[in-house]
Amino acid sequence: MGRSMETAYHKLIVSCQALPEEPLHSSFIMGRMALAAQEGGARGIRANSTEDIAEIQKMVDLPIIGIIKRDYPGSPVRITPTMREIDRLMEVKPEVIATDATCRLRPDGKTLEEFYALIREKYPEQKLMADCATLEEMLHADRLGFDFIGTTLVGYTEESRGAQIEADDFELIRQLVKRSKHPVIGEGNIDTPEKVRRVMELGVYSVVVGSAITRPQLITRSFTKVLEEE
């Protein structure tokens, strides 16, 4: 099949992640989760940490969007926040590296522009994805030159509080696809097959689905919650 993002064009990307506090936290398990996703028809994987990515690379021949989530004191930016995480990811060379591309300062005080310039200088060939929260941030990342623009953080930041990606029939995605020069990846609370189909119809490059497929504790909760409401 080959590890090229072209494989994921108009296809599903499955996010296989489990943080240390989650029941499925294990590179072994994430590797099998990626294999299950591939068997189900996924044509790309999003993964967190070099350990998970290396294991997933052994299990599937699919392009990987790689990140490292790391918390730094006093900073809300946690998706591949500094060059330290970029350097680590380059040890396993995922096809795409995604990073927080919001308007917030990074833990080391750098702006997104400064950070982006550093990455491009050191790794000019590496494909980059911008994880954004607002349309303004997405268009800014597009102007900077990110290879893929993602809606990953809509509703998760102070600047996007209350925003919902599916509002007004995905109006934000509609606007972004119309105005972005770079391919758009729909991500964030796209949690049903119907939403995936609709977002794809609007012209995105790919759609990422995570929790609705790979976080059984949350999937289970959606079922048990119904029983509690009786």
What are 106-161's pLDDT values in tens digits? 999 999 999 999 999 999 999 999 999 999 999 999 999 999 999 999 999 999 99
pLDDT above 70 covers what percent of the chain? 99
Span between the terminal Cα atoms of the chain, in Å? 48
Q: Is the pLDDT of residue 1 over 60?
A: no
What are 190-199's pLDDT values in tens digits? 999 999 999 9
Round to whole Å and give the CA distance between 217 and 22: 9
Mean pLDDT for the chain overall: 96
pTM for this predicted structure: 0.96
Q: Exposure pattern of 109-129 as b/e (b: 16+ CB <10 Å)?
A: ebebeebbeebeeebeebbbb
The answer to whether 101 and 133 have CB atoms below 8 angstroms apart is no
The answer to whether 13 and 42 have CB atoms below 8 angstroms apart is yes
Two structure tokens written together for 217 = 């504790």
Domain boundaries, the chain: 5-228
- Burial class of 175 by CB neighbour count within 10 A (0 to 12, 13 to 18, 19+): middle
User: Check: CATH 3.90.1150.10 for 5-228?
Assistant: no
Q: Is the pLDDT of residue 172 over 50?
A: yes
pLDDT at residue 230 in the model: 64
